[in-house]
Chain A
Amino acid sequence: MTLLDVTDLRVSFPTEDGLVRAVQGISFTLDPGQTLGIVGESGSGKSVCTQTIMGLTRGAQISGTAMFEGRDLLTMGDNDLRKIRGAEIGMIFQDPLSSLHPQYKVGWQIVEMIQAHEDISTKAATKRAVDLLRLVGIPQPDRRVDDYPHQFSGGMRQRAMIAMSLALNPKLLIADEPTTALDVTVQAQIIDLIERLQAEFNTAVIMITHDLGVVADIADDVMVMYAGKPVEFADRRTLYYRPHHPYTKGLIESIPSAEGERGRLKPIQGQPPSLIRLPSGCSFHPRCPYVMDQCVTEIPPLRQVAGSADHRSACWLPVDEVGIGGEVDRKREQVALARRGTLAAESSDVIDSVDVPDGSAADVPADVGADTTTRGRTQPLASTATRAVRARTGQPAPPARPQRRGATATEAVTAAPVKKAAPKTSAKKAVAKKTVASKTAGTTAKKTTPRRTNSSQNGSTS
């Protein structure tokens, strides 16, 4: 059974500088024992996404659903949420300093947390706290339970945080950059611990990180985020070896190779955009080496691509152009060149002028971009259902307007045979899904909403 099913989650913050659209339409499902990695640059909305699921974003405008064991976390009352938080869903925060209360002893905080959810004597709870601290590698745990957080080093504080989040054996562990503030040797300990935990208790994990290495190590599936949107979703092997989205490809190429080759690195040009003034069409287009005219005007939907059964990407490049290096890159370039007109040519000049980071643009009014209009009328669930029906009944998709998009749809159907990512979907279904996805791409391709076809079906069938 699906543990967590997030559908079209959108979060924005009204600020005096304009509306910050931190998350714009995230959908995913998570089964017990699975690890979902979320990667993206800082400010891409990773933390906001999970904090919203946990009911921790204040003053935000939130839409979508996040069903945890059949109950929607987003509409749940504070009391119910508090019961789930900590007990059912554990959370490790990015900043270990701010997540422990400085005025209380570490042990007391763990005991408090256990007793809030379980009817257990203080003595027994304290013993558990000591065991937990030992579990996460704190020396002399029976003495250190009586320490205050400031007496712990940064690494120890993060360990204590982890001990606390594990205390009640949560079904889901959300780890928001748990190791970013830590040294590699400690990071290795923590990752190892999380892996053991999963093996033992079948805990599901959402691992947020900007380190592609961490994700390659422990994630089953990976979601890549850019400027508040999921741009690519795949199992980790597909993502690393057969990425479709130029941003994912760029990220992988920009890190120094593990073999220590000393050639020039291949950075992604430009800067991440301000979430208040997103570029039109594909948010990545000012930085994308393959930008085409279509990218400047139309928002690419998250659609099925050829890497594997569950591989989705939000990019207008043909769906079978997956992979890194020589041949594929050349093909991508050819396609892009063929479809590049004046719009795309101009867009590369933008790199220099979009360099104003968030916040400094204090008085730039939030422009009423394409996205606002689209979002107003998007009914993700309903439209998914309609499309699914249409696909099954074989009703022809409405003719795609621009020629290119028609072509894209065909490519999707004839995509390369797929390697199955997870044992949850049958091959038949995968094909069916792919058809749906490609139809989708052909019909309502310009909506921002990622297609939920795959995940929702997974949810109902597994």
Chain B
Amino acid sequence: MTAAQPEVDHAGRDVNTQAGDVLLKVEGAKKYFPIKQGIIFQKEVARVHAVDGVDLEVRSGETLGLVGETGCGKSTLARLIAGLYPMTAGTVSFDGSDITNLSRKKMRPFRRDIQMIFQDPYGSLNPRRRVGSIIGDPFDIHGVADGAERKKRVQELMEVVGLNPEHFNRFPAEFSGGQRQRIGVARALALRPKLIICDEPVSALDVSIQAQVINLLDDLQNEFGLTYIFIAHDLSVVRHVSDRVAVMYLGKIMETGPVDDLYGLPRHPYTNALLSAVPIPDPDRADSRERIILRGDVPSPVNPPTGCPFHPRCPKAQDICVQEMPPLEPVFVDPPTHRTACHFPVPEGEDISQCTPGIDQSGTGPLVGADLSAITTGS
């Protein structure tokens, strides 16, 4: 992330050659949540397809950005990797060992290496406990340090994340959102993990505070050689922090690739729409670009669409999209690192807002604002 040498990532490795070893490998990950009904005997009546067949690789020292809209399964995937939910199908391997559905006991050593930072700076710290004891939790649970030693290390951590070490006796309520997020970072950092999964670490923060936390995460990565999975729905933030990006939609990965390839030449219609929808904080550029307006909302993951899950909203959808899920693979001249799951990927220069779908999408919802007559009939 150093501006001076764009060819070299924060761990000092050459981005282009992807020198890092594979630290985490996820294959065919699926997580379905049963929806149950009944008072005494609960019957499964449906399933939420939260994560629906995800393959992922994270190399050591890199930051993998995970973007997607609400409910597309980012957090669920993060929790699967952290071993907080049992998987419905698929495998996760970390540092060469298979950690899929390990028992609590067998998982314990891996918990030190995989840590999480949560989205909600208010919800992720127990309001009834002092900050010192919250940050000291990892030491306590893993029996690493006690008494004065623990206090010393907690204060060191507070210093590292930019908190006043004298505040270790305070309660979370006495800190602001940004500071609480720093407490969360300190807790995640305590056991010197290899991988930190940041689940929307800055989404709940104000813009001016977001940058503080992003910089902090950046510094820590440099200092401790951390690997991040960085989840966010803000595409500019993801672009800023990530080396590689994966775009999710309804539990599946739609497109993945090195950050500049993906933002520079988005191949998937959904990625195109997503990028075109991001508000640009620059009036001239905002005026000159063309927004792609999609129909409707993200469909419910209880009954995801057949074939390509994006077909009900995709401007390029054809019959085959309804029947077959396209494989995630390089398209056109893309390098093998840039993969897209689409039957009709977007060639360079195509404006997909001009495309018309070859299937009936009226069930998805009318185009917003197509007919203003409902308003005129008034007053």
Q: Point out the residue from B178, B236, B375 that lies within 8 Å of A197, measured CB to CB.
A: B375
In the bound complex, what is the Cα–Cα distance between A193 and B374 (angstroms)? Answer: 13
- Shortest beta-carbon distance, A267 to chain B, in Å? 3
Quick check: A212 and B3 within 8 Å, CB to CB? no
Quick check: A356 and B281 within 8 Å, CB to CB? no
With A132-B375, A260-B260 given, name 7 new contacts (CB 8 A).
Answer: A134-B366, A137-B366, A140-B363, A184-B235, A216-B280, A261-B3, A360-B174
Chain B residues with CB under 8 Å of chain A are 1-3, 6, 69-70, 164, 171, 173-179, 206-212, 214-215, 218, 233, 235-237, 239-240, 259-260, 263, 273-274, 276-286, 291-298, 300, 363-379
Interface size class of A (residues with CB under 8 A): 35 or more
Q: Which of A347-371 contact B (CB under 8 A)?
A: 352, 355-357, 359-360
Q: Looking at the complex, which of A57-65, A166-174, A381-389, A414-422 is the stretch in contact with chain B?
A: A166-174
A214: Cβ under 8 A from any B Cβ? yes
In the bound complex, what is the Cα–Cα distance between A128 and B372 (angstroms)? Answer: 11
Q: Mind listing 15 A-B residue pairs with CB under 8 Å?
A: A41-B207, A135-B366, A135-B374, A139-B364, A156-B297, A169-B378, A169-B379, A185-B277, A188-B294, A241-B283, A252-B281, A260-B239, A262-B240, A269-B212, A271-B176
Quick check: B176 and A135 within 8 Å, CB to CB? no
Quick check: B368 and A213 within 8 Å, CB to CB? no
> Given A255-B211, A267-B215, does the pair A155, B297 have CB atoms closer than 8 Å?
yes
Quick check: A254 and B208 within 8 Å, CB to CB? yes
- Shortest beta-carbon distance, B251 to chain A, in Å? 15
- Shortest beta-carbon distance, A59 to chain B, in Å? 24
| CB neighbours of B373 from chain A (8 A) | 131
Q: Point out the residue from B179, B211, B278, B369 that lies within 8 Å of A193, measured CB to CB.
A: B369
In the bound complex, what is the Cα–Cα distance between A267 and B208 (angstroms)? Answer: 6
Closest chain A residue to B239, Cβ basis? A260
| CB neighbours of B218 from chain A (8 A) | 264
In the bound complex, what is the Cα–Cα distance between A192 and B139 (angstroms)? Answer: 51
Quick check: A139 and B363 within 8 Å, CB to CB? yes
Quick check: B369 and A254 within 8 Å, CB to CB? no
A250: Cβ under 8 A from any B Cβ? yes
| CB neighbours of A19 from chain B (8 A) | none
- Shortest beta-carbon distance, B75 to chain A, in Å? 15
Quick check: B208 and A258 within 8 Å, CB to CB? no
> Given A135-B369, A185-B273, A192-B293, does the pair A128, B378 have CB atoms closer than 8 Å?
yes
Quick check: A210 and B294 within 8 Å, CB to CB? no
Quick check: B179 and A184 within 8 Å, CB to CB? no
Q: Point out the residue from A140, A189, A256 that lies within 8 Å of B240, measured CB to CB.
A: A256
Quick check: A192 and B236 within 8 Å, CB to CB? no
| CB neighbours of B274 from chain A (8 A) | 184-185
Q: Point out the residue from A188, A215, A258 that lies within 8 Å of B293, measured CB to CB.
A: A188
> Given A42-B206, A254-B208, A260-B240, does the pair A187, B279 have CB atoms closer than 8 Å?
yes
In the bound complex, what is the Cα–Cα distance between A136 and B171 (angstroms)? Answer: 45
The 7 A-B residue pairs with the shortest CB-CB distance, nearest first, are: A213-B279, A263-B3, A131-B374, A267-B211, A256-B240, A139-B365, A188-B277
| CB neighbours of A213 from chain B (8 A) | 278-281, 286
A17: Cβ under 8 A from any B Cβ? no
Quick check: B282 and A258 within 8 Å, CB to CB? yes
| CB neighbours of B300 from chain A (8 A) | 153
Q: Point out the residue from B70, B214, B282, B364 that lies within 8 Å of A183, measured CB to CB.
A: B70
Quick check: A264 and B277 within 8 Å, CB to CB? no
Quick check: B281 and A258 within 8 Å, CB to CB? yes
A298: Cβ under 8 A from any B Cβ? no
In the bound complex, what is the Cα–Cα distance between A250 and B371 (angstroms)? Answer: 41
- Shortest beta-carbon distance, B58 to chain A, in Å? 19
Quick check: A272 and B206 within 8 Å, CB to CB? yes
In the bound complex, what is the Cα–Cα distance between A272 and B259 (angstroms)? Answer: 33
| CB neighbours of B179 from chain A (8 A) | 271, 355
In the bound complex, what is the Cα–Cα distance between A367 and B175 (angstroms)? Answer: 20
Q: Point out the residue from B175, B208, B260, B371 that lies within 8 Å of A131, measured CB to CB.
A: B371
In the bound complex, what is the Cα–Cα distance between A256 and B215 (angstroms)? Answer: 11
A201: Cβ under 8 A from any B Cβ? yes
| CB neighbours of A189 from chain B (8 A) | 293-294, 368-369
- Shortest beta-carbon distance, B52 to chain A, in Å? 19
Quick check: A212 and B281 within 8 Å, CB to CB? yes
A251: Cβ under 8 A from any B Cβ? yes
Quick check: B176 and A265 within 8 Å, CB to CB? no
In the bound complex, what is the Cα–Cα distance between A316 and B175 (angstroms)? Answer: 30
Quick check: A196 and B369 within 8 Å, CB to CB? yes
In the bound complex, what is the Cα–Cα distance between A264 and B215 (angstroms)? Answer: 7
- Shortest beta-carbon distance, A363 to chain B, in Å? 12
Quick check: A210 and B376 within 8 Å, CB to CB? no
In the bound complex, what is the Cα–Cα distance between A250 and B207 (angstroms)? Answer: 10
Q: Which of A224-259 contact B (CB under 8 A)?
A: 236-237, 240-241, 250-252, 254-258
Quick check: B366 and A139 within 8 Å, CB to CB? yes
